[in-house]
Amino acid sequence: MNNRANIYDPIPVKIVEGHGCWVTDITGRAYLDCLAGYSAVSHGHCHPKLVKAAIAQMNRLCLTSRAFDSPLLYAWEDKMCKTFDGKMILPMNSGAEGVETAIKIARKWGMVKKGVTDGTQKIIVCDGNFHGRTTTIISFSSNTNYRSGFGPLTPGFLTVPYGDHNAFCRALRYNSGVVAFLVEPLQGEGGMNVPPDDYFTEVRNICDENDVLLILDEVQTGLGRTGYVLGEEAYGIKADLTILGKALGGGIVPISCVLDRRGTIMDVLGPGDHGSTWGGNPLACAVSMVALDVLREENLVMNSKAMGSYLLAELKEMGLNARGRGLMIGIETPLGTSRDYCLKLKDQGILVKDSHGVVRVTPPLIITLHEIGLLLEAIRNVFK
């Protein structure tokens, strides 16, 4: 009997075990995991140091709620701010929660510090965005599937084309009350879209000139995924608010956050304005701190850049239309649907997922040259 809500159409494989870049299904067959939990398993499955940290903390304390303080939360906050050049931080649990939190902060900042009348605040977003699936977030999705049947939708959002800074500038010129621009450094779910090289430099300047907060959703692009610690580094800019999640928990625990990079944005919040029972829980903080250590100690950012550059070059050498940065790559499919190719690659022992017309390749950042070779061999067999 199937009592599951029908909200997913998964690739037909039932996984029971995972270590490193490899997972095993119920029949004992091994697969090279090149999705990595939509980038949440960047450190590889069941990384020994992360598992050890989780078990040790589970034997001490897992949850206090924010009604009480935990020394681990202070330690995690300090480590996060030093690692990502933040001045204030607010922990949550999921990427969508992080985005919702950033929206609330931006709206209140707009009222308190920019003088925008409450209820008239506007946030600009991009066509093809994916920031989560809450009611507010789907309200500005350009995917009608995500919105249909879930009205009334939340107002207060303007959509512009991704990668077009002139369109962003025009939206500011013809609309009052804009408090923030929410955007991904590289669009993942939208089809692995990479903006022009000068896009974010121009966007940063426009935000500064118009007193608009630049909010970067780094839930997927952060922590080395694009070959940089943060995706913003590829463009030489710095966000005002940065949203992190997914790999922040090392593929072991859910944890996310919003970082205030100025230190003068998040201070508009007071007790009771926001909260989360599980946000910043000791278990998640303990694992997350080790995840940051592993990222540095094992040179995962450097490996992401090196392996990603090699993989992208080889794909293009095959004559495939591939794009991305680091180990966040999309491959356009010449015939049929991208899901057809994902199913064929599964038969070759490779697990990937389709994302808006492309085959999405986001393996753990620990992937080796040998494993990249296995992936390329499977792609050659399927795409030829």
Spatial neighbors of 68 by CB under 8 A, at least 6 apart, are none
What is the token pair recorded at 373? Answer: 């070779």
**Given the residues 217, 240, 260, 354, the one annotated as active site:** 217
Q: Is 114 a catalytic residue?
A: no
What tokens appear for 120 in the block?
């008239």
CA distance 64 to 227: 36
Residue tagged active-site, from 33, 84, 108, 130: 130
The two tokens of residue 141 are 């999705």
Q: Does residue 267 have an active-site annotation?
A: no
Integer angstrom CA distances of residue 124 from 55, 116, 175, 180:
42, 15, 10, 6
Q: What is the dihedral sign for C-alpha 85, 88, 91, 94?
A: negative
Residue pair 96/137 in contact (Cβ under 8 Å)? The answer is yes
Burial status of residue 274 (CB atoms within 10 A of its CB: 0-12, 13-18, 19 or more): middle
Place of tokens 């494993």: 371
Measured between alpha carbons, how far is 275 from 144 in angstroms, rounded to an integer?
A: 30
- φ, ψ of residue 65 to 5 degrees: the values are 65, 170
Catalytic residue at 168? Answer: no
- Single out the catalytic residue among 122, 246, 346, 353: 246
- What distance, in Å, lies between the first and last C-alpha atoms of the chain? 40
Of 201, 267, 210, the closest CA to residue 234 belongs to 201
Catalogue the active-site residues: 130, 217, 246
